[in-house]
Amino acid sequence: MSQTFDLIVRGGDVFTPSGLARGDVGVRGGRIAAIGELSADAGEVFDATGLTVLPGVIDTQVHFREPGMEHKEDLETGSRGAVLGGVTAVFEMPNTRPTTTDAAALQDKLDRARGRMHCDHAFYVGATHGNIADLPELERLPGVCGVKTFMGASTGDLLIADDEGLEAVLRAVRRRAAFHSEDEARLAERRPLAREGDWTSHPEVRDAEAAIRSTNRLLGMAERLGRRVHILHVTTAEEVDIIAAHRAVATMEVNPQHLTFAAPEVYERLKGFAQMNPPIRDRRHQAGLWRAVTEGIADVLGTDHAPHTREEKAKPYPASPSGMPGVQTLVPVMLTHVAQGRLTLERFVDLTSAGAQRIWGLADKGRLAVGYDADLTIVDLKARRTIRDEDMATRSGWTPFDGFEATGWPMATVVRGTVVMRDGEVIAEGAGRPCRFLETL
């Protein structure tokens, strides 16, 4: 009796654990059931001739703004941008209103996501001085990817700047915890250095030393306590070396923005639309981040997708808010770096799928292999397209990459065997489900 599948992705160059090979991917019950030359029937056949089939891309840092700031973004529009950009799963941050700092707030997000988010998803729980005792229970709840701690200024009470509070968080958590690593005391000390209307002063206000000092403190403490930590959006060359010296406990994220843009040019060109925290820095630091990529020190690519409206971004510095969209542009921007020879396709896959699985212990995801979820990012590595504001799904309606000439483009997004995006259109609505993690099964 011949095999039958729900879906066959046929004739693409498939990125398997053994490397890139021409073949088919057979899907049954939402899982990858076979890889190879498949002479079989299927309920649906996707012709991937001329395309490359990658493991589903995972963006491990997004801010979808719901609840409380839906005029900038919400879970539906943010996840729509994700799947249009070839992203199959996202980890969403806790600095919403109210903040995601207790079980009720987490459940509210999961309820809001059900039937509305188009990609799979998990949510961070934010650490505060008031919920440290609850973190061991909160980090084990279904749908939680981990604990997020802001060591530099953030929303509401999501700030733990003191050593005593930081140590208490590290002692409480058992899973790998994520950190925004900037030293709050130094940030406060340097705020008067902001020049009104001059965005080139942003990396002076939030200088490299603020990040270096904070990461040194955090990793010294993590090493002493034997706790696993993940440093989000690393921006300095010095931090790369610090993290390399603490690999037993530390992992790190890089952002496409910091790898692609450099100061001061980007601030002169984009003004407030280039403002994010930690800042985009000069080419010396950018070179340090690329070194982290090529030497294997960087573990994941996350976008820190954090939209604001045009009106908010147009305010004169420092009244303008920090943050920019990114989830929809991750794949074409980074595939352009692949096309230009700065990044191998193998390293791209490691940074966007395998790395996320390795760091957070994702169950069933992060690998194009039999038995895993059929999460696929299907791309045309040769397609040349221009990224445009008007094509962005985000409520904010803009991207810092407007006008960027991309080589490499997402043609389809498959989430657990369902083709949710094809040729720039979302064709399956609300298919996303919460991610599962090995430590909390």
Q: What is the pLDDT of residues 90-104, one digit of tens each?
A: 999 999 999 999 999
User: How many angstroms separate the CA atoms of 377 and 356, rounded?
Assistant: 15
- Residue 7: its pLDDT value, please? 98
Domains along the chain with CATH numbers: 56-360 (3.20.20.140)
Catalytic residues: 304
222-250 residue pLDDT tens: 999 999 999 999 999 999 999 999 999 99
**Rounded (5°) CA angle 408-302-144:** 130
Reported as a pLDDT band with limits 50, 70 and 90, residue 273 is: very high
Contact indicator for 92, 146 with CB cutoff of 8 Å: no
Q: Which residues contact 260 (CB under 8 A, 6 or more apart)?
A: 333, 337, 401
Which residue's structure tokens are 């690593």?
181
393-432 residue pLDDT tens: 999 999 999 999 999 999 999 999 999 999 999 999 999 9
Tell me what the pLDDT averaged over the chain comes to.
Answer: 97
Contact indicator for 329, 401 with CB cutoff of 8 Å: yes
User: How many Cα neighbours within 13 Å face the side chain of 131?
Assistant: 23
Q: Could you tell me whether strands 57-62 and 31-36 are parallel, antiparallel, or unpaired per DSSP bridges?
A: unpaired
Supply the DSSP symbol for 233: S
Closest to 277 measured CA to CA, from 257, 250, 259: 257
User: How many angstroms separate the CA atoms of 148 and 437, rounded?
Assistant: 16
- Residue 229: its pLDDT value, please? 98
Reported as a pLDDT band with limits 50, 70 and 90, residue 3 is: confident
Query: Cis peptide leading into 203, omega within 30 of 0?
Result: no
114-167 residue pLDDT tens: 999 999 999 999 999 999 999 999 999 999 999 999 998 766 689 999 999 999
196-219 residue pLDDT tens: 999 999 999 999 999 999 999 999
User: How many angstroms separate the CA atoms of 376 and 378, rounded?
Assistant: 6
- Whole-model pTM: value is 0.98
- Report whether pLDDT(1) > 70: no
- Residue 157: its pLDDT value, please? 80
- Residue 23: its pLDDT value, please? 96
39-72 residue pLDDT tens: 889 999 999 999 999 999 999 999 999 999 999 9
User: How many angstroms separate the CA atoms of 271 and 274, rounded?
Assistant: 6
For 174, phi then psi, to 5°, come to -120, -30
- Residue 215: its pLDDT value, please? 98
